[in-house]
Structure 1
Amino acid sequence: MSEPHRIAVNEGSPEGSNSAYVLPDRGVVVDPGPPGNDDFERVRAGIEAAGLAMTDVEHVVLTHWHVDHVGLAPRLADAADATIHMHRRDAPLLAEYREARRRRVRRDASVLAGWGAPKGRIEEVRERDAPSPLPDQTPVVAHEDGERVADGELLHTPGHTEGHLAFRCDDVLFVGDTVLPTYTPNVGGSDTRAKNPLPDYLRTLRRLLRHDGECYPGHGDGLSLPERVGAIRSHHRQRAERVAERLGARGEATPWQVAVDLFGEMRGVHVKFGAGEAAAHLRALAAEAEAPVSRVGSDPERYVLDGAPAGAVPSSLFE
């Protein structure tokens, strides 16, 4: 396969500019980026710089449903007469955008309440969750793990979202937001459908480590996969230790209370991200037989620590 052509879009993202990729010898664009005329022109220019006409694009592969990755996909697919591809778990959030968004907003509010978030913070999240300029419906081909597009393999990589996927072409792997060069992807608040997202994410990292070729992330430039996976595992191990420490100090706590201890004042989308991160760690610890963490309530979720914080985090969880 020829060298992928990277296009930097969405310069305002806190993770760094989004990375759209053109695979010129396969007629594929991966994650074209957020909606907007300026970014569409960047993608159009990038496709041409890669040696393709717009009509040479046959496939648009989307790693996950977040709008900074899928926002341009309907417009690009329409202009190129191309097919959009997603994992089946994330596909409805673009394919049935209007109705899926309504369900997601209601689900986010319900899950936040279940994590113990205050009503005022939940309402703030709802108010700031403005609709994206996407069609109500978009044709999307929904895939299972292991299916192929343009002779590349789609790998289900849940954790950041339920239907996140990576796209493997020969010795090149496009990982979306599962592994990023400088930023630790959110787990828990970035997709409130997940029941136990942290173990899912750690299994995904183990799977990706089997790849020994080049790795291209959804933000920023290329990265060393083993180095970044090691750093992310270390980050989550330290976070789990802090979660156990705060739980021990409180005696009994909701995910929201632990999140406030960890992150302080949270507003807007960080309400979801912070509470979701705490909930993901608490659920993961409570599911581990070796961890002395127990879930003792569900409306909202409440957890207790039955032993010393130092023994609450099994090392096997992060291997």
Structure 2
Amino acid sequence: MERLSLSNSAFEGDNNAYLFADGPETALIDTGDWTTTTREQLVAALADRGLEFADIDRVFLTHWHHDHCGLAGEIQAESGAEVCVHRDDAALVEGDEDAWSAMRDRQERYFEKWGMPEPKREVLRDRIAGAGTTDETPTVTTFADGDAFSVNGTELEVVHASGHAAGLCMFEADLEDGREVFSGDALLPVYTPNVGGADVRVEHPLEKYLRALRRIVEADYARAWPGHRDPIDDPAGRAQHIIDHHEERAWRVLDALDRRGPCDTWTVSAELFGDLEGIHVLHGPGEVDAHLDHLEQAGAVVREETEYRLADGVADDLAATEAERWELAF
């Protein structure tokens, strides 16, 4: 297996594609986006190894976001490669117009629910207008949690890790240093993957993501190969760090409600992140909404229409020392 680093203009850092070419089959995990620069980089990286798109037999996708699946259609058009993705993301990867229309309709409903100002909505509409649009979209084969694939003698086992995206999956494998995982965007070395805004189809996204992180902690992998940037040598430690980060953020959400009184998601987002631009206009309130949903499930906040307030007694818990605070449902 080799890691191919591909450029990405987004804040997460360079994308990774993982090449398996040490046997009769040539396979990729993720492809990078469909920009000319990324395509040229992937073509060059394959050429350095005596390969081209036409040689690729299978592509395994971690999820539907274009920076991970963008070239899958073009690869399939040139090679006839089988493109595999979790069933929850299949329609978006295939470019199904109904699926993309439903996504945008749901985003609009969330913008209203969050209390997003109209000028910010326009920023997002302009930015996401071309999402899912490419000249080549693949026909996919779907998989589910627990499915396994053999690639040149290496068994890849699917681990569904929903949260950041409905169909986000990792792939476990026994590699050089033991049980390792291709973590996609479920576990990144620098940034914490956005939950809530990155895929508005996910119900209770923070709950699902925390479950995936605990699974990583329990698995205690020898190494994680993430969707962006460098390998992670302590995946369990990194996963626990992100769990702790979300617990800290939950207290910040509660503190904002304590200071502001009943308010909507957009107001809490402004308290936490200030004025947002670009894709963060989606990610900021989306993440806050995921936390408010999780806190509502835990009984810490109460929702009334589009506003949230602290549940009875929570203000006293906020005033207590950290050691005395009641435990959230993490």
Q: TM-score, normalised by structure 1?
A: 0.90
Aligned to 2:120: 121
Q: Residues 173 and 53 (structure 1 numbering): CA distance in 2 closer, same or farther, change over 3 Å?
A: same
The yes-or-no answer on 1:189 pairing with 2:197 is yes
SS in 2 for 1:158: coil
Give the letter aligned to residue 65 of structure 1. W
CA contact (8 A) 2:74 2:137 kept: no
Offset of residue 173 of structure 1? 1.0
CA contact (8 A) 1:252 1:305 kept: no
Q: Equivalents in 2 of 1:136, 1:32: separation in Å?
A: 13
Offset of residue 226 of structure 1? 1.7
Aligned to 2:235: 225
Q: 1:165 aligns with which of 165, 169, 178?
A: 169
RMSD over aligned CA atoms reads 2.1
Offset of residue 294 of structure 1? 1.5
SS in 2 for 1:252: coil
Tell which deviates more after alignment, 215-224 or 114-123: 114-123
CA contact (8 A) 1:292 1:311 kept: no
SS in 1 for 2:4: strand
Q: Equivalents in 1 of 2:317, 2:300: separation in Å?
A: 8
Gaps of 5+ in 1: none
Q: Equivalents in 2 of 1:203, 1:118: separation in Å?
A: 33
Q: Equivalents in 1 of 2:69, 2:137: separation in Å?
A: 13
Q: Equivalents in 2 of 1:296, 1:254: separation in Å?
A: 10
Q: TM-score, normalised by structure 2?
A: 0.87
Spell out the pairing of 1:1-319 with structure 2 (5 A cutoff). 4-25=1-22, 26-50=25-49, 52=51, 54-132=53-131, 133-135=133-135, 137-150=137-150, 151-170=155-174, 171-209=179-217, 210-223=219-232, 224-288=234-298, 291-297=299-305, 300-309=306-315, 311=317, 315=327, 317-318=329-330
Aligned length: 311
Q: Residues 10 and 279 (structure 1 numbering): CA distance in 2 closer, same or farther, change over 3 Å?
A: same
Q: Residues 308 and 5 (structure 1 numbering): CA distance in 2 closer, same or farther, change over 3 Å?
A: same
Q: Percent identity?
A: 35
Q: Equivalents in 1 of 2:27, 2:216: separation in Å?
A: 21
CA contact (8 A) 2:188 2:227 kept: yes
Offset of residue 314 of structure 1? 5.1
SS in 1 for 2:88: coil
Offset of residue 256 of structure 1? 1.1
Give the letter aligned to residue 244 of structure 2. S
Gaps of 5+ in 2: 319-324
Question: Cα deviation per residue 1:81-123 (whole Å; 9 max; x = unaligned)?
Answer: 2111111111111113444323222211111111121222222
Tell which deviates more after alignment, 302-311 or 166-175: 302-311
Question: Cα deviation per residue 1:185-205 (whole Å; 9 max; x = unaligned)?
Answer: 111110111221101000001
Give the letter aligned to residue 110 of structure 2. V
Q: Equivalents in 2 of 1:251, 1:305: separation in Å?
A: 11
SS in 2 for 1:295: strand
Q: Residues 27 and 303 (structure 1 numbering): CA distance in 2 closer, same or farther, change over 3 Å?
A: farther
Q: Residues 253 and 316 (structure 1 numbering): CA distance in 2 closer, same or farther, change over 3 Å?
A: closer
Q: Equivalents in 2 of 1:309, 1:60: separation in Å?
A: 51
Q: Equivalents in 2 of 1:127, 1:102: separation in Å?
A: 15
Q: Equivalents in 2 of 1:314, 1:222: separation in Å?
A: 36
Q: Residues 236 and 156 (structure 1 numbering): CA distance in 2 closer, same or farther, change over 3 Å?
A: same
